[in-house]
Amino acid sequence: MKTTFAKIAVPKEGTLVLTALRGSKFTDTTKAVDRRMSGALRRAVKAAPRFTGEKGQFLEIVAPAGLRLGRIILAGIGKGSDFDRLALEALGGAMVKRVSATGESKVSIAVDAVSGVNVSVAESAARVAAGAILGSYRFGRYRTKEKPERKPSVTSVVILTDRVTEARKAFKSIAAVADSVNYARDLVVEPGNVMTPKALAGRARSLAKLGVKVDVLGKARLEKLGMGALLGVAQGSDQEPYVVTMQWNGKPRSKKTDLALVGKGVTFDSGGLSIKPASGMEEMKYDMAGSAAVIGAMRALAGRKAKANVVGVIGLVENMPSAGAQRPGDVVTSMSGQTIEVLNTDAEGRLVLADCLWYAKEKFKPGAMINLATLTGAVIVSLGYHHAGIFSNNDDLAWQLTSAGRESGEVVWRLPLGPDYDRQIDSDIADMKNIGGKGAGSITAAQFLKRFVGDVPWVHIDIAGTAWAYKDKPTNPRGATGFGVRLLNRLVAANFE
């Protein structure tokens, strides 16, 4: 799909999207088009009394004689103050989906200056365009016999604005983020037989062309480093494990690493010998969504030339049952030297992250660390599918991430940590065990990770409920969400640049 910007004018083909405020008040371009149509838009509104211009309302009419357009869609935007960055993106996404359902190939969206909107006209236009990119996402690589009428029809989106040059400039950095979200979505959707640890390491390696310094650590190097926790997870699979580091040095005069992003990359999680139920196991291809978010975030930072020094670290393994698989009751030694009694081989992500967090801390000495993982089903019980759960040893960093979530639309909710929870993972025969018994499963998992971060300000984000969407949203089609890319990008932009 091609996205471009043009001066405000009535297009000669396709669908034109115009806007109306609460109370059916027309914006300037809508008024101009209505005059050209001899008041046809006003008459259409009167004939549809339920359309009042509220945000999310739409009124579709066939273009009258004299215009070569196919149709006009009047989009309600509510009060001007309702129309923030997220609403602008939602407009772009909703319009592409709506027009695709008609079979039309071209949509033009007029973006006016609206009183009360605290976003510039240029950025508003760029946000609508970004929403179109996000909302039109579709993974069709393995479809070979799809009927034409089921395929998305929109091939061109034109954003009409009187600030074309400024909008194009704003769009460069915003598009870098939107494209990276879709890149992360692609990684998550790929099946486990394709997106193996080696393949995912290769996708991370491709960031080198953007100026990211990439290092891929294979099994021999991991053994030399003593990553016994991660290697224990991988030992049941024929697929070799990897740890990949990605460094973006946006402040080349500084040798300090501002932030480390650490991602869980279990490319398929059968549960190991503590095998999962067959029903729903196919979804475990997305147990690497944390690593995909880190790759996507690093791609976004490099794409928009972020002025921050950020490193991404991802641990890539496959968790499978076999004669060589890790057994419940085994004890492994992590890179930190701490020993772990593995009581459940399906609590494997925390073992992968334990070594990756320690490696990131010791190797890069970051000012702060954030890890992302589809870690526990318990967080879904707590928060459902709308918020990711966060856990932190630092109030300031937790608040910065919460604020970034509100601004990016990838919202998070902080859950507690504490000594009582920590005691739940004490082991009788080792330094700790990898599960904490009944209750507070997402919290005891976070307490486990906390033992590997030392005094570094740190946040753990459990994205088990947000990595995959089961319902369509304007900028989030059903399926992989790419959750974390926009969140981390916003965090860096607001606090580390």
In tens, the pLDDT along 388-403 reads 999 999 999 999 999 9
Residues whose CB falls within 8 Å of the CB of residue 181, separated by 6 or more in sequence, listed in order: 134, 137, 296, 300, 482, 485, 486
What's the sign of the alpha-carbon dihedral 413, 414, 420, 425?
Answer: positive
Report the share of the chain in percent with pLDDT over 90.
92
Please indicate, yes or no, whether residues 193 and 120 belong to a single structural domain of this protein.
no
Radius of gyration of the chain measured on its C-alpha atoms: 25
Please indicate, yes or no, whether residues 316 and 226 belong to a single structural domain of this protein.
yes
Report pLDDT for 281.
97
Tell which phi-psi region holds residue 153, choosing left (phi > 0), alpha (psi between -120 and 50) or beta: alpha
Residue 322 belongs to domain with CATH number: 3.40.630.10
Does 169 map to a domain? no
Please indicate, yes or no, whether residues 156 and 186 belong to a single structural domain of this protein.
no
Does 463 map to a domain? yes
Does 171 map to a domain? no
What's the sign of the alpha-carbon dihedral 102, 104, 105, 111?
Answer: negative
Say if residue 115's pLDDT is above 80. no
Does 455 map to a domain? yes
Report pLDDT for 49.
92
Does 144 map to a domain? yes
Please indicate, yes or no, whether residues 46 and 97 belong to a single structural domain of this protein.
yes
Please indicate, yes or no, whether residues 276 and 345 belong to a single structural domain of this protein.
yes
Please indicate, yes or no, whether residues 120 and 221 belong to a single structural domain of this protein.
no
φ, ψ dihedrals at 124, nearest 5°: -55, -45
Say if residue 196's pLDDT is above 80. yes
Round to whole Å and give the CA distance between 47 and 56.
19
Domain boundary among 110, 134, 162: 162
CA-based nearest residue to 33, from 74, 4, 5: 74
Does 377 map to a domain? yes
Round to whole Å and give the CA distance between 485 and 405.
11
Report pLDDT for 148.
80
Please indicate, yes or no, whether residues 271 and 414 belong to a single structural domain of this protein.
yes
Lowest mean pLDDT, pick from 98-107, 186-195, 455-464: 98-107
Does 192 map to a domain? yes
Neighbours of 283 (CB within 10 A): 13
Say if residue 422's pLDDT is above 80. yes
Residue 7 belongs to domain with CATH number: 3.40.220.10
Which DSSP string do the residues of 374-395 spell out, in sequence order? ---THHHHHHTTT-EEEEES-H
In this structure, what token pair is assigned to residue 117?
């909107």
pLDDT digits 0-9 by tens, 292-320: 999 999 999 999 999 999 999 999 999 99
In this structure, what token pair is assigned to residue 364?
């890069």
Please indicate, yes or no, whether residues 152 and 202 belong to a single structural domain of this protein.
no
Round to whole Å and give the CA distance between 153 and 37.
27
In this structure, what token pair is assigned to residue 232?
């224990």
Mean pLDDT for 78-107 is 92
Domain boundary among 107, 129, 162: 162
Say if residue 414's pLDDT is above 80. yes
Say if residue 215's pLDDT is above 90. yes
Report pLDDT for 23.
94
Report the share of the chain in percent with pLDDT over 70.
100
Could you tell me the residue range of the domain that residue 387 belongs to? 179-495
Please indicate, yes or no, whether residues 255 and 402 belong to a single structural domain of this protein.
yes
Round to whole Å and give the CA distance between 388 and 413.
6
Please indicate, yes or no, whether residues 264 and 358 belong to a single structural domain of this protein.
yes
SS3 369: strand
pLDDT digits 0-9 by tens, 62-76: 988 778 888 999 999
SS3 305: coil
Lowest mean pLDDT, pick from 79-83, 107-111, 127-131, 368-372: 79-83
Query: How many domains does the structure of the chain reveal?
Result: 2
CA-based nearest residue to 17, from 125, 116, 120: 125
SS3 311: strand
Please indicate, yes or no, whether residues 184 and 155 belong to a single structural domain of this protein.
no
Average pLDDT of the chain? 96
Residues forming the active site: 276, 350
Domain boundary among 127, 162, 197: 162
Does 485 map to a domain? yes
Round to whole Å and give the CA distance between 333 and 109.
58
Please indicate, yes or no, whether residues 223 and 191 belong to a single structural domain of this protein.
yes
